[in-house]
Amino acid sequence: MHLIWTLIIGLIVGALAKLLMPGKDPGGIVVTIILGIAGAFVGTFIGRALGFYREGASAGFIMSLIGAIILLLIYRLFRRKATT
């Protein structure tokens, strides 16, 4: 059940991260939503490492958003360097 919850939050967070970080993204909204899903997993990992979540708990909305923004920044940096 935690995996499904993480995926649902990731979809929402990916769209929200795109709204918070406007600009031309290589890959469009679909890639941004996929990064949001991955961001939810990254947020869960970071939250567990910092002691915010216990083992087996999923990241909350804010931590998932932070994870998605981190991944979106990294994605933008690598995609711009690869195209120039």
**What tens digit of pLDDT does each residue of 30-72 get?**
777 788 888 878 888 888 888 887 776 666 778 878 888 888 8
- Run of H or E including 3: helix 2-20
Look at residue 82 and tell me whether its pLDDT is greater than 80.
no
Sorted by sequence, the CB contacts under 8 Å of residue 81 that are 6+ apart come out as: none
In angstroms, the first-to-last Cα distance of the chain is 42
Residue 51's alpha-carbon distances to 33, 40, 42, 77, in angstroms, are: 27, 16, 14, 29
Report the C-alpha gap between 79 and 59 in whole angstroms: 27
Q: Check residue 58 and give its pLDDT.
A: 65
Q: Domain range for residue 48?
A: 2-83
Which band of pLDDT confidence, cut at 50, 70 and 90, is reported for residue 27? low
Domain count along the chain: 1
Radius of gyration from C-alpha coordinates of the chain: 13
Q: Check residue 84 and give its pLDDT.
A: 59
